[in-house]
Amino acid sequence: QKEVEQNSGPLSVPEGAIASLNCTYSDRVSQSFFWYRQYSGKSPELIMSIYSNGDKEDGRFTAQLNKASQYVSLLIRDSQPSDSATYLCAVLRGDAGNMLTFGGGTRLMVKP
Amino acid sequence: NAGVTQTPKFRILKIGQSMTLQCAQDMNHNYMYWYRQDPGMGLKLIYYSVGAGITDKGEVPNGYNVSRSTTEDFPLRLELAAPSQTSVYFCASSYLGQFTEAFFGQGTRLTVV
């Protein structure tokens, strides 16, 4: 099992819809979780971080964490074509000296 | 502040050549990371460092070496380049490593021919 897993997509949603991106992780002691957005040919940029169970909202973005199920998700409300990018889930692994480990990313396409 | 600076941005190497990818940060971050990203894939950790003088292997360290003599700099050395090392390399840094975000450099696109 990979340490951090994501569906590679592409996930296609119409403009204005909610995009739901999911991530599972294997390390039960991980405490820090991140969502990065990466446009083609660019470096990743942080859009959300979450450390506690539950939801965390920032504008159109909501991160959800369930440590019991080892699951973290990202919801994007009112999706815009400019949200089209690859979304990378990252976990700071407590079982491995605080290695920051990334999933393979999910490509999101928002169609006008 | 410049953030995380990587040089060069692009490089073509011949098989068997060696080179050093430079990474510098001016944010006084203690954690630094090197990742590679193959086309259409996620980031794979090559090496990381939790402070000056301390380095650890990541998921894919073979064919690479690193050093961390100062807080600011974390160069990645490729010895005997192989076509399998063709990739985009990203350096990142973060403070303390817990409850903080990692900042990325612009990347180095390396082609080995």
pLDDT tens figures, A66-98: 999 999 999 999 999 999 999 999 998 776 677
> Which H helix or E strand runs over A71?
strand A71-76
Residues of chain B with Cβ-Cβ distance to A102 below 8 Å are 35, 42-45
State which residue of chain A sits closest to B5, comparing Cα positions: A43
Q: Do B43 and A44 touch (CB under 8 A)?
A: yes
Residues 6+ away with beta carbon under 8 Å from B97: A92, A98, A100, B30, B31, B50
pLDDT reported for residue A83:
97
pLDDT reported for residue A92:
87
Q: How many CB pairs under 8 A join A and B?
A: 59
Give strand pairing partners of A57.
Answer: A62
Q: Which two tokens stand for residue B99?
A: 């409850």
| Nearest-angstrom CA–CA distance, B40 and A10 | 11
pLDDT reported for residue B98:
60
Give the model confidence (pLDDT) of A42-64 as tens digits: 999 999 999 999 999 999 999 99
pLDDT reported for residue A112:
93
Query: In degrees, to the nearest 5, what angle opens at C-alpha B11 toward C-alphas B7 and B17?
Result: 110
**Average pLDDT of A13-27?**
95
Q: Do B90 and A46 touch (CB under 8 A)?
A: no
Q: Which residue has the higher pLDDT, B76 or B42?
A: B76
pLDDT of A5 higher than 80:
yes
pLDDT of B97 higher than 60:
no
Out of B40, B102, B106, whose CB is closest to A100? B102
Is B25 exposed, middle or buried, given 0-12, 13-18 or 19+ CB atoms closer than 10 A? buried
pLDDT reported for residue B47:
95
Local confidence band at A18 (pLDDT 50, 70, 90 cut-offs) = very high
pLDDT reported for residue B40:
83
* Among candidate residues B20, B28, B31, the one with its CA nearest the CA of residue B75: B20
Q: Do A100 and B107 touch (CB under 8 A)?
A: no
First to last CA, chain B: 36
First to last CA, chain A: 37
Query: In degrees, to the nearest 5, what angle opens at C-alpha B99 toward C-alphas B93 and B100?
Result: 30
**Average pLDDT of B82-89?**
97
Mean pLDDT, rounded, of chain B: 93
Q: Do B41 and A104 touch (CB under 8 A)?
A: yes
